[in-house]
Chain A
Amino acid sequence: MVVSLNLCLGLAAAIFVVGMTGFVVRRNTLVMLMCIELMLSSVNLVFAAFSRQLGDASGHVFVLMNFAVAAAEAAIGLAMLVEIYRRRRTVDVDELKSLME
């Protein structure tokens, strides 16, 4: 068994799909944010795989950029969530649909 680019991309796609399904299925906003983190992480795998394939470490730089984006997203998302919880006393997306009605 050898590690090929196809395997890396397939693994990343599978992990992305797991995150995507979780985002739709789960009702807890915290877990939905975690699913977004998992999807971002699967993109990092693609960057690292192509970096290795092309012998150019630029992909690693973009993985580090992606870490910063994920950190910013987690910070803002969790701050919004805490604020929503203070006002509505819930983090269930089924309860938070006043914009939809």
Chain B
Amino acid sequence: MEAFLFFTCGALMLLGGVMMVLQRSAVVAALWLVFAFIAAAGVFAALSAPFVAIMQVLVYAGAIMVLFLFVIMMLHGPVLDGERKRLPLPMWPAVAIPPLAVLVLVGGWLSGRKAEALPAAPEGFGAPAQIANLLLGRYLLAFELISIVLLVALIGALTLGLRERKLPWS
């Protein structure tokens, strides 16, 4: 069951990513990315991370992608002119070599390792209670710092988005 979920959702996530890159329209690309993220939630579930799987759907496939779709529809629904052009021929090696290098490196490293099944997860592994204990215990400082990151991002987005430069503090 676990292996079935992992292989199905992993393949679907890869498909979603590839289709996102191949689509010309940004809206359709965003929808394929939502598909990939929902499949990623399935992969997380297969890796016995139920809380992370739920947060993946809520935060990534929900909040972040809605933000993307909102901006895409606000700016430029149709296809850009530049997307209709094909890449010039001398560009192709520059595009193909870095990904191939990564794949060869990772593949070479992985082929030298024994492929053992993942150990079974202990009871309550990845459940909200365990995550909460870690988040508000061992990683409390990181938790507080990430909240500051989000606050700064909020203020930054607000500052960038204001049309007139009339900020309340200036």
Q: A42-83: contact bitstring with B at CB < 8 Å (1 yes, 0 no)?
A: 001100110111010110110111011111111110111111
Mostly helix, strand, loop or mixed at chain B's interface?
Answer: helix
Counting CB contacts under 8 A, is A3 at the interface?
Answer: yes
Q: A2-32: contact bitstring with B at CB < 8 Å (1 yes, 0 no)?
A: 1111111111011111111110111110110
Q: A27-B80, A76-B160 are in contact. Are A11 and B20 (CB under 8 A)?
A: no
Are the CB atoms of B106 and A9 closer together than 8 Å?
A: yes
Q: B82-99: contact bitstring with A at CB < 8 Å (1 yes, 0 no)?
A: 110101000000110011
Are the CB atoms of A41 and B60 closer together than 8 Å?
A: yes
Residues on the B chain within 8 Å of A55, using CB: 119, 121-122, 125
Residues on the B chain within 8 Å of A86, using CB: 163
Tally the A-B contacts, defined by beta carbons under 8 Å.
Answer: 237
Q: A60-B49, A72-B150 are in contact. Are A20 and B80 (CB under 8 A)?
A: no
The residue in chain B whose Cβ has the minimal distance to the Cβ of A70 is B64
Interchain CA distance A38-B13 in the complex, whole Å: 10
Residues on the A chain within 8 Å of B156, using CB: 75-76, 79
Minimum CB–CB distance for B19 against chain A, Å: 10
Mostly helix, strand, loop or mixed at chain A's interface?
Answer: helix
Interchain CA distance A14-B104 in the complex, whole Å: 11
Residues on the A chain within 8 Å of B7, using CB: 1
Are the CB atoms of B118 and A76 closer together than 8 Å?
A: no
The 9 closest A-B pairs by CB, nearest first: A72-B153, A22-B21, A2-B117, A79-B160, A79-B157, A13-B106, A18-B17, A27-B82, A17-B99
Mark A residues whose CB is within 8 Å of B: 1-11, 13-22, 24-28, 30-31, 33-35, 37-38, 41, 44-45, 48-49, 51-53, 55, 57-58, 60-61, 63-65, 67-76, 78-83, 85-86, 90-95
Mark B residues whose CB is within 8 Å of A: 2-3, 6-7, 10, 13-14, 17-18, 20-21, 26, 29-30, 33, 36-37, 40, 43-44, 46-49, 51-52, 55-56, 59-60, 63-64, 67-68, 71-72, 74-76, 80-83, 85, 87, 94-95, 98-99, 102-103, 106-107, 110, 113, 115-119, 121-122, 125-126, 130-131, 134-135, 138-139, 142, 146-147, 149-150, 152-154, 156-157, 160-161, 163
What are 7 A-B contacts with C-beta separation under 8 Å?
Answer: A2-B117, A14-B14, A24-B95, A48-B47, A60-B49, A65-B146, A71-B64
